[in-house]
Structure 1
Amino acid sequence: MTTSRTTSEPAPAAEPPEPPETRRGRSRASRLRALGRPNFAGLLLAVAGFGAALTPSLLPRPWLFEGVIAGLGAALGYGVGVLVSWLVRKTQVRTPRAEVRRWAWRGLAVVAPLAAVLFLLLGVRWQNDVRTLVGMPDEGLLTAFVVALVALPVAVATVMLCRGLRRAARWIARRVGRFVPAGVAAAIGALAVALIIYTLVTGLLFTGFVSAMDTLYAGTNAGTAPGVTQPLAPERSGSSASTVAWDSLGIQGRSFVGRGPDAATLEQFSGRPAKTPIRVYVGLDSAPTAHERAEAAVRELTRTGAFSRKVLVVAGSTGTGWLEPQATDSLEYEWNGDSAIVTIQYSYLPSWISTLVDVDRAREAGRELFDAVYATWSTLPEATRPKLLAYGLSLGSFSSQSAFTSAADISARTQGAVFVGSPNFSEPWSTVVADRDAGSPEWQPVVDRGTTIRFAGVAGDLEKPAGPWDAPRVAYLQHANDPVVWWSPELLNRRPDWLAEAPGAGRTPEMHWYPVLTFLQVTVDQFVGVSVPDGQGHNYGSTMPAAWADVSQPPDWSDADTARLTSLIAGYAIE
């Protein structure tokens, strides 16, 4: 009988624990591998994109906006560099020797930081040049440091986001590649990621943003500005005699009818008996549709006796329903109260949001209101009916112009118009500018030798050209540095005429066009368009007395009166 004996193997000696330093080093290396080795051409063009983004645009940019744009410029440059590298590899160009690549990286490590610092310092100088042009104080060199602190994380985050999207597209392509050719799979992966991004941005994110803004500004619209009370004068909408309820006007409507010069104030300015100016406003809550609001406005005009006044202005309001006091008050001073101004509200969102969601409502409001007023006005005897004028500022200019099919239609159905800071997508503004006389610049066109339509940045521009200005007179006010006028999606891939021409007043000659970057710069400029002094950017208040005087031609009004009124209007706070 055989006896088996089990022998136990000695346990292997335990490995010594890994030092913490090694674990940390391995973790750092893992993170670096996840980040991927930076691309040489990408880094080179990132510095170039960073510098291009810091170049000046239309208006001075706050440090936060400056940093964000600089970071996006660097990320854009990096992406272009990666694309160039990929294309070069596809052509199978011989790769430089290892020694050459090593010295190239060393050179880049020295040159890139120095170039970035130089661009930051130049950026401060460029911004100060623009600040000087618009009458603002300089910023110190510390701004460069703050801009860098913002730009770096923006650039890194943008690059990492793009890498993540690329990995997602590749992951989808690998799954699909089991069933279709590789090229088709890659296209499907890219398309799928693009659709997901589009759905998120235009669906969830955009809808959520609009919903949040709608809730916020709906609450604001329900309020009343400090110092504004319900008017007692029957010439105002919202008064006890009005067919439009005070509570339905919205915050901007209540401010419009509750403020402005009264007869006593006008008499003090003119030295002659004055009338209480008529102000008609119909809010979003006053009637459910634009057509019904326009009809309610005409009823108010009839009730107040507006069709027997000397001048009647059909105005387009901005996105919030606001009308600029410098514009409305100027006309009332010039006509000594023998005037009426009417508008309807189509939104309570700021114009930059309304441009995204309420453009159709703005267009509809402009057409419905003018057509309704014109239908009644045109039936009145020519000898006694008021001078009919059109007016609008910013998105209100777009809304007001939407009532007309062409410049000829403006002349045929009005007796004058003042359109101020028209958005680039306004019609017939864009057609008028495109048809300007040969040799005249886009930022201040001359149209048909100025016989009917004239463009101005400052009051004196309306006197140019020297030839006759026939009635009805149409004035377009626009500054060479107004981003609302010059912003367009075409800036993404095309240099506009106004940037190819010699710069107009207020625009630095050091502004140049760069694909995508100039679009981003001018987009940001819109957010600071009214943060600059009057007479610059999107601020036109001081030009309104001269514009109304030239277009409406009030009786017994002199250049000295215009100067006095301009001085008075200059004391208004920019809202």
Structure 2
Amino acid sequence: MTGQGLFSCYSHFIKSLQSVMIKSVNSFLERHQISVMGISLGLIFFSASLTPSLIPRSAIIQGTLGGLVMAIGYLFAKIIIGTWRFLELPEFTHSRHRSVTGSLFFICFAIFCISLFQLRSGQNELRALMTMNPLEGNHELIVVGLAIALFFFFLLLGRFVALTAWFLRNRMPGRMPPRVSITLSLALVTILSWNLANGVIARGLLNMADETLREIDSRIDPELPVPQDSLRSGSDDSLILWERLGAQGRRFVSGGRSAEEISKIHGGKPAKEPIRIYAGLNSAEDIRDRAALVLEEMKRVGAFERSILIVATPTGTGWIDSAAVDPLEVMHRGDTAIVGMQYSYLMSPLALYVEPDVAPESAKALVNIVHGHWRQLPADTRPKLFLHGLSLGSYGSENALSPLNMIDNPVNGALWSGPTFGNPIWQDLTRNRNADSPAWLPLIGDGRTARFTTQENALNIAGSSWSQMRLVFLQYASDPITFFEITSAFRPSAWITDERAPDVSENLRWYPLITMLQIAVDMLIAAEVPEGFGHVFAAEHYINAWVALTEPDNWQEGDTEQLKEMFR
């Protein structure tokens, strides 16, 4: 047989196989009343979700995301088909419809297979970028199995909703036009479903989380030592009881290095015992009383007599990052006072959902009362006053920086790390950055007041000097909590189209809706990466920021490198 004959036989075999597969798939899906168009679009959505985004995904996370987006794709297809029929537009004949949809499914399935084949390499490339081990085991098998299971769960849920709508439609008055009854029944089901999900299920889960996290916050770790130094909250001389500090507050006041340890680090030079003050949720009745209690505690320990004073707004759980504050105390030989106040025991996303105003209100109360006392002190003897916040703490801290209160006696500056995508000052500065600077590392004018930095120190701007107030944003381009945008559902974000950041995969591509969902899922796992990526900030990068902000006396570049090495 000639080569041309072999090719002809091979082509005929492929076409026959494709025809058999199409008929088999159509037959199976029709028998189970599953839309071929829906499955096809679902596979395209699933395929897009397998591409890398900002954070490496485990098989469980990837499978969950895949099942969710596949269900969304299926729903979109059903909506398009339903709208088409509702408008009574012309349709294919049954045989033609089966042929077209079968061919479409075959193409979409092929695309899915290619995407699944590339999944491991794309994830491993991103994991290598973040110094993580490559994937092991049956990653793809778990992803597909979980995604299919979740998809069919949503499919059954959708059928239950459709049956409910059909039931309601049949209970409508007989003289009501069909289109009106369909529209009305769908509207009623949507309202009922939303109320059930938001009012019953969500509230029940929130109450469960609230009880669990409240218990965790009240639990006292027996391994944490009660502070013996009177300069710390929770000590015997403190106005704030150890038992009422909350879990993260107790961890904060028990942490850090002593004056003796700091002195040894500095070659025997004298050092002071760092001041750490913290008020827990149960330390006083309300936000104002807690802020007033913190101020009294500051006066008691002489916090306003130190050279550096930090008002730190914690995250939702009450956590103040030791990577941020420990190096600062060593840098200034303990001549520091760091104060914080708890406003929640919930994880930041939950705290923002349940009480969106509590972080700003708490930060404003503490900053205003501290700043109000500080501004009355002699300018030449009072400490430098800085604000600090990580994640939701940065959101609260930003909102506390009121121009009206700061116009004549502003704070010396602020260090905000991992700013959320909703931070007002961060949003405004990023939006109005210099045109030649990327969204992940904005340059604002000549950098006199606000500067951004990443893993690489970008705070030393040639030819630019700082103004009276200095604002520093420490952010990683791989942090989805900073770079999530709801608008990325229908247009690519600037950090995708701009010059790509070193810690963002070159294989990241924008897909309508899918990329937004990928980044949303990334936010849930943003802290599950090594230090220096995502939402996990390294002490060495905080050190760069504190040096630029506080300008320690007689500080040399070599001192910075030694301090970084100590905290690595």
Displacement after TM superposition at 1:301 (Å): 0.5
The 1:126–1:213 alpha-carbon spacing in structure 2 relative to 1, beyond 3 Å, is same
Per-residue CA deviation, residues 354-409 of structure 1 (Å, 9 max, x unaligned), is 12113311111110000000010000000100000010011111111110246995
Partner of 1:320: 317
Aligned-residue Cα RMSD (Å) equals 2.3
Q: Aligned match of 1:185 in 178, 181, 186? A: 181
Partner of 1:565: 563
Displacement after TM superposition at 1:326 (Å): 1.1
* Counterparts of residues 345-360 of structure 1 (less than 5 Å): 345-360=342-357
Q: Aligned match of 2:506 in 495, 499, 509? A: 509
Task: Select between 121-130 and 478-487 the one with higher mean Cα deviation.
Answer: 121-130
Per-residue CA deviation, residues 517-557 of structure 1 (Å, 9 max, x unaligned), is 22321122122212111111011123111111111111122
Per-residue CA deviation, residues 410-430 of structure 1 (Å, 9 max, x unaligned), is 996210110000111112221
Q: Aligned match of 1:428 in 420, 425, 430? A: 425
Q: What is the alpha-carbon distance in structure 2 between the residues aligned to residue 539 and residue 341 of structure 1?
A: 21
Q: What is the alpha-carbon distance in structure 1 between the residues aligned to residue 170 and residue 520 of structure 2?
A: 38
Amino acid at match of 2:553: P
* Counterparts of residues 39-438 of structure 1 (less than 5 Å): 39-89=35-85, 94-97=90-93, 99-104=95-100, 107=103, 110-140=106-136, 142-178=138-174, 180-225=176-221, 227-271=223-267, 272-405=269-402, 413-438=410-435
Partner of 1:550: 548
Task: Give secondary structure in 1 for the equivalent of 2:38.
Answer: helix
Task: Select between 50-59 and 432-441 the one with higher mean Cα deviation.
Answer: 432-441
Structure 2 segments unaligned to the other structure (5+ residues): 1-27
Partner of 2:23: none
Q: What is the alpha-carbon distance in structure 1 between the residues aligned to residue 339 and residue 64 of structure 2?
A: 42
Per-residue CA deviation, residues 133-189 of structure 1 (Å, 9 max, x unaligned), is 211121147211110011111112212322321232232233224364433332321
Per-residue CA deviation, residues 319-368 of structure 1 (Å, 9 max, x unaligned), is 11110111111110111101100010001111122121133111111100
* Counterparts of residues 2-21 of structure 1 (less than 5 Å): none
Displacement after TM superposition at 1:66 (Å): 0.2
Displacement after TM superposition at 1:92 (Å): 5.7
Task: Select between 95-104 and 138-147 the one with higher mean Cα deviation.
Answer: 95-104
Contact 2:452/2:458 (<8 A) preserved: yes
The 1:299–1:483 alpha-carbon spacing in structure 2 relative to 1, beyond 3 Å, is same
The 1:313–1:210 alpha-carbon spacing in structure 2 relative to 1, beyond 3 Å, is same
Amino acid at match of 1:534: E
Contact 1:425/1:488 (<8 A) preserved: no
Q: What is the alpha-carbon distance in structure 2 between the residues aligned to residue 251 and residue 517 of structure 1?
A: 38
* Counterparts of residues 518-533 of structure 1 (less than 5 Å): 518-533=515-530
Amino acid at match of 2:303: A
Task: Select between 557-566 and 400-409 the one with higher mean Cα deviation.
Answer: 400-409
Per-residue CA deviation, residues 50-105 of structure 1 (Å, 9 max, x unaligned), is 11111111110111110011112222222222233344446666544555444445
TM-score (norm 2): 0.90
The 1:94–1:246 alpha-carbon spacing in structure 2 relative to 1, beyond 3 Å, is closer
Contact 1:459/1:547 (<8 A) preserved: no
Q: What is the alpha-carbon distance in structure 2 between the residues aligned to residue 410 and residue 131 of structure 1?
A: 46
Q: Which structure has the bigger radius of gyration?
A: 1
Contact 1:41/1:84 (<8 A) preserved: no
The 1:219–1:411 alpha-carbon spacing in structure 2 relative to 1, beyond 3 Å, is farther
Q: What is the alpha-carbon distance in structure 2 between the residues aligned to residue 171 and residue 58 of structure 1?
A: 44
The 1:114–1:406 alpha-carbon spacing in structure 2 relative to 1, beyond 3 Å, is farther
Kindly tell me the number of residue pairs found equivalent between the two proteins: 539
Structure 1 segments unaligned to the other structure (5+ residues): 1-30, 571-575
Contact 1:228/1:255 (<8 A) preserved: yes
Q: What is the alpha-carbon distance in structure 1 between the residues aligned to residue 425 and residue 327 of structure 2?
A: 25
Contact 1:56/1:508 (<8 A) preserved: yes
Q: What is the alpha-carbon distance in structure 1 between the residues aligned to residue 283 and residue 95 of structure 2?
A: 77
